[in-house]
Amino acid sequence: MSWQRKILRVDLTKGEITQEPLNMEWANEYIGERGLATKYLWENMDPTVDAMSPGNVLIFATGPLTGTMASTSGRYAVVTKGPLTGAIACSNSGGKFGAELKFAGYDMLILEGKSPAPVYLHINNGEVEIRPADQIWGSTVWNTEEWLKSHHQDPQMKVASIGIAGENGVRYACVVNDLHRAAGRSGVGAVMGSKNLKAIAVRGTVGVKIDKDPKAFMDVVKDTHQMLADNAGRKGLTKYGTNAMLTSMQKFGGLPTHNFQEVQFEGADKIDARAMMKPNDSGHVNLITNKACFGCTIACGRIAHIDKDHFTIVNRKEYWHASGGLEYETAFALGSVCGIDDIDAATFAGYLMNEHGMDPISFGVTLACAMELYEKGAITKEDTGGVELKFGNPEALTIMAEKTGTYEGFGQDIGLGSKRLAEKYGHPELAMVVKGQEFAGYDSRALQGMGLGYVTSNRGACHLKHDVFAEDMEDTGHTGKAKPCKDSQDNIAAIDSTGLCIFTTAAWGLGDFARQINAACEGDWSEDRVRECGERTWNLERQFNLKAGLTKADDTLPKRLLEDPVPTGTAKGNVHALDKMLPEYYELRGWGDDGVPTPDTLKRLGLS
């Protein structure tokens, strides 16, 4: 039993803090983290309320394996209703914050209401306080963390906070912990800002105990560690980070470029994993080292620094330090999709995303949308405050990253997200989104299974909730992909509920997660049971969305991906075959052709 069996509930409106026991019945049905937080959200709020209103509930949840020696045990999830989509938002993060929350004695943190004035939450084991945030409201994420540590004289404290973007309701503001790890997607930071909550500072010294059978647990841990140690995919992640993907996507022809007008980018080799390791003309090497989240034996994180002579920081010494570097999604979003091949500019924009607390994917794709609107003449130089918002302009990238982060000038428009921006400037068709959330770095026409995953993801377009990658690489057609899409969604919903990271799937199958849970948690946890928890979670997320007012009509792609053929690459000529895939998917799910789970399906999963 690796639970603390305790939840911290904070009513920000009333300033009340209460503790309650973790509902073990629900934990048995949803595992923990993503799944269990979804159940708590479902039971604690009305899905129809506005995401930015006090009626929204914000949950920080750990999993049963968070804070144990299982590899990658640092994960926590932030679950709420998302302001970008109006759908359920579920964002998870690594770093060290999640484990610290568990070490403080809490499995989950439920935040309700809205504080009358800016506050932060200070948790020191059993001592929990809501404190005024006057001195940090308006500060960056980085300064907030520094202030909290020095104010509380606690250098070992872990902090999750929002930046100025989150305070001002930038729709894709995120929650950043440990300076450069983030619950990045779906605007969970904007919800935190709408509650006037600046930060959560935690110090935990209680620890996590395995009551069931510590020896059996340690045996499984040893075995699963070894599987990762020996795995070739894992070795690639350690050495190159996720940005090795950029080279593959470029070669395959699935790398979104110029707001998804193209799928291959001329400057790809200037921003890929090898470019990060190569000295530039003055001998500067972007990448310094790799770095792990809590408990992680992969360490895919990149620590980089920007060339001091680069225009972005030459006169700004405060950025002459190392920080989180490019990963695949940032390299695509702050690179190819905006036509940017300047590795230092992209790295700097990445710093700004962390410092100001924004999702780089949604920011980059929104900027790309703005660039296309600018080149079409729908946005003018007057609108942008004199910035030449053209594809490939690294200055446009870094100026807009900063202006959006600090919520100034045209940055306020970029902060709307692609959907609202494209509508405002009269071209809704140019927003590269599903349900209002921007695509990640894979083109749906080239990767048909990925496209179906984007469409059906409950938090809007997202690459992390399914895995049809192997099938997509093998064959650019659409047949036979609905099933692996559905199955992997269920598996990943389960994995996201354990407290571990999905990158371990390089070496582990669902059974390996199941045996770790089985060794740590009460009861018998077979692979099938774990999978069913994932399917239950997926369907409950869907139920939340349906109740929030989303319908089958929201399960679609932008016209560009349904009608304009891919111009180059392996899948040249393809459009996305959504009309053929979606009915099959609904059927596999046990949903009616209206996209609603049938009574039988709900009954089978214990959701009726």
Partner 1 sequence: MHKALVIDPDKCTSCLQCEMACSFEHEGVFNPAKSRIKIFEFEHGKRSIPYTCTQCAEAWCMHACPVEAITVNLSTGAKEVNPDVCVGCKVCTIACPFGTVNYESDSGKVAKCDLCGGDPQCAEVCPTDAITYVEADWTGYDKMRDSAVRAHS
Q: Which residues bind partner 1 (CB under 8 A)?
A: 67-69, 71, 96, 103, 156, 179-180, 204-210, 214, 218, 225, 229, 288-297, 299, 301, 303, 305, 321-324
Indicate the residue among 111 and 287 with the shorter CB distance to partner 1: 287
**206 vs 602, which CB is nearer to partner 1?**
206
Question: Cβ closer to partner 1: 197 or 296?
Answer: 296
- Based on CB atoms, which residue is closest to partner 1, 293 or 500? 293
- Residue with smaller CB distance to partner 1, 321 or 547: 321
The residues near 228 (Cβ < 8 Å, ≥ 6 apart) are 71, 234, 297, 298, 504, 506, 507, 508
Minimal distance, residue 515 CB to partner 1, in Å: 18
* Cβ 206 to partner 1 shortest distance, Å: 7
What is the smallest separation between the CB atom of 215 and partner 1, expressed in angstroms? 11
Pairing, β 197-203 against β 119-124: parallel
Alpha-carbon distance of 234 to 217, in angstroms, equals: 22
CB count within 10 Å of CB 34 equals 30
Q: Min. distance of Cβ 96 from partner 1 in angstroms?
A: 7
Name the one residue in this structure whose structure tokens are 């230092």: 344
CB 220 → partner 1: shortest distance, Å? 14
- Under a CB-based contact definition with an 8 Å cutoff, are residues 74 and 95 in contact? yes
Residue with tokens 């509380």: 152
Work out how close the CB of 100 gets to partner 1 at its nearest, in angstroms, rounded to a whole number: 9
Residues near 72 by beta carbon (within 8 Å), at least 6 away in sequence: 94, 293, 295, 296, 297, 298, 500, 501, 503, 504
Contacts of 549 (CB under 8 A, 6+ apart): 48, 86
Query: Which residues have C-beta within 8 Å of that of residue 324, sequence separation ≥ 6?
Result: 179, 180, 181, 301, 302, 303, 304, 350, 351, 354
Residue 421 token pair: 């921006």
Nearer to partner 1, 209 or 424 (CB): 209
Choose between 71 and 194: whose C-beta lies nearer to partner 1.
71
Of 205 and 608, the one with the shorter C-beta distance to partner 1 is: 205
Q: Least CB distance from residue 540 to partner 1, whole Å?
A: 30
* DSSP 8-state assignment for residue 592: -
- Shortest Cβ 516–partner 1 spacing (Å): 13
CB of 297 to partner 1, least distance (A): 4
**C-alpha span between 521 and 503 (Å, rounded):** 22
How many angstroms separate the CA atoms of 414 and 257, rounded? 18
Give the residue with the Cβ less far from partner 1, 292 or 346: 292
User: In which element (H, E) is residue 389 found?
Assistant: none
CA-CA distance, 74 to 292, in Å (whole number)?
10
Cα-based angle 262, 267, 271 (whole degrees, multiple of 5)? 115
Residue 94 C-beta: closest distance to partner 1, Å: 11
- Residue 216 Cβ, how far from partner 1 at the closest point, in Å? 14
Task: Please say which residue, 229 or 588, places its beta carbon nearer to partner 1.
Answer: 229
Closer to partner 1 by Cβ: residue 4 or 115 = 4
Measured CA to CA, the distance from residue 224 to residue 233 in angstroms comes to 15
CA distances to 247, 334, 450, 470, 571 from 568, in Å: 16, 22, 18, 20, 7
Residue 214's CB is within 10 A of a number of other CB atoms, namely 12
Name the 3-class secondary structure at 121: strand
Please say which residue, 226 or 568, places its beta carbon nearer to partner 1.
226
| Shortest spacing between CB 99 and partner 1, in angstroms | 8
